[in-house]
Amino acid sequence: MSIAVFLANTLLRKHTRVSFCAWRGSGSMNQYEHKIISLVLNEMAFEGAIKHFHEAPPDLPVELFEDLKAIGIPGRYDGNIEDYRYVDIEFDNDKSVFENCYGQLRTIRNNIVHANKAYRPDTPERLNDLLDWAQGFIHSVYQSNSALAKRAAEIKAALRIENF
């Protein structure tokens, strides 16, 4: 079983009680499911490139951060109030565009992976906007042709998840 199938099974069981393998035979992932798995796997590859290989952040346009700020993003899920504490995200001038965006990408991923969105779901339109932003960010990282992008691609190839 590939890591992509394992992660898909884990996420789907956690949120829907459906096995990826069970519905995979009846067709392919829908676009929404593909975006979620792509988000999880690429965030993992970026984390590996940063933490284990110490690759420098790529140079990305600040518009990526501004686009996300326009959508708005919740802060951490707070179990005490069983809701999100919304915050206005601000660009940290001491960090690169990549670092500012990557931190928010992790928040989006965490809210999905840890099932917070199952309890307090976004509207389909808003969730789609967040997933589209995530895909745009991921695409921009790989288009940068930076050392981090190359290392993340190598990590994905080693894990045989390069199709995400």
Out of 20-24, 121-125, 154-158, 160-164, which region has the weakest mean confidence (pLDDT)? Answer: 20-24
Q: Which of 69-73, 77-81, 103-107, 146-150: highest mean pLDDT?
A: 146-150
Counted residue by residue, the chain has a size of 164
Cα 151 to Cα 2, 66, 129, 133, 154, distances in angstroms: 20, 26, 27, 22, 5
Query: What would the pLDDT profile of 86-128 be if each residue is shown by its tens digit?
Result: 778 899 999 999 999 999 999 889 878 776 666 677 778 888 9
Q: What is the residue extent of each domain of the chain? A: 3-158
Backbone Cα Rg of the chain: 16
Single-letter residue type at 105? L
90 CB-near residues (< 8 Å, 6+ apart): none
Is pLDDT larger for residue 22 or for residue 126?
Answer: 126
CA distance 116 to 132: 19
